[in-house]
Amino acid sequence: MDIPYDIEPRPSTGLHNARLGVLLFIASETMLFGALMTSYVFLRSSATDWTGGAGPPGAAPAIANTILMAASSAALILGRSQFRRGNPGRCRAMLFAAMALGLAYIAVTVFTLDALLAKGIHPATSTYAGIFFVLTGLHALHVAGGMVVLGMLLTPRADVIPGRFRNRLGDLAVYWHFLTAVWLVTFPALYLP
């Protein structure tokens, strides 16, 4: 069965179906991260002892993560651009680069959380530690989910139908840029004093 507007944009919305779905998904994700940021504001504003002796970990991993997320977003932009120009090989190279950068982001996050646990700091240590583990962990899980889709786009026959592949790549890029934006909000909230 053919799904209408699977590749071409639907006239009434100007978007293909999957993009509309992704945008609605991002709206719900905005509410999820917004609720967590609301919790953060409440906990931080009302805390008499915010960190409870468990201050932010060093800024170096956070700066590295910021660079990694920004670079992976840039790699996806370049990948889309290469595909539009008819260079599927270079597009794949960019997608592999985005995948590697995403993996590095997750590795740095796991390393950071593991280092905290090794110091005896866990989510129950303080309200700061609690929201830190939840926000960074949830964000890393979202990046991992995006990488599953990225892996699907890197399978050999993923671009058999070029129009569909182009749309899927665009949908993933929109999601990935959203994750980068979320990190740019999360990073100063959690790491700056």
Told to check if 87 binds other proteins by CB under 8 A, we report no
Q: d(Cα 29, Cα 146) in Å, to the nearest integer?
A: 13
Q: Residue 146: which residues within 8 A CB-CB, separation 6 or more?
A: 102, 172, 175, 176, 179
What the block records as the tokens of 128 is 């700061």
Told to check if 155 binds other proteins by CB under 8 A, we report no
Q: Which is nearer to other proteins, 13 or 81 (CB)?
A: 13
Helical ranges in 7-160 per DSSP H? 17-46, 59-84, 88-118, 127-153
- Figure out which of the listed residues 3, 12, 156, 157 binds other proteins, where binding follows CB under 8 A: 12
**Residues 23-62 as x/- pattern, contact with other proteins by CB under 8 A:** x---x--xx--xx-xxx-xxxxxxxx--------------
Told to check if 184 binds other proteins by CB under 8 A, we report no
Output the smallest distance, CB 173 to other proteins, in A. Answer: 18
Q: HSE of 68 in the Cβ direction (CA atoms, 13 Å)? A: 21
- Nearest CA-CA partner of 143 in 57, 71, 192, 35: 71
Amino acid code (one letter) for 62:
A
Interface with other proteins by CB under 8 A: which range of 22-30, 117-125, 158-166, 170-178?
Answer: 22-30
CA torsion, points 138, 139, 145, 147, in degrees to nearest 10?
-150
Q: Which is nearer to other proteins, 28 or 155 (CB)?
A: 28
Told to check if 156 binds other proteins by CB under 8 A, we report no
Q: Residues touching other proteins: how many (CB under 8 A)?
A: 21
The residue ranges that bind other proteins (CB under 8 A) are: 11-14, 23, 27, 30-31, 34-35, 37-39, 41-48
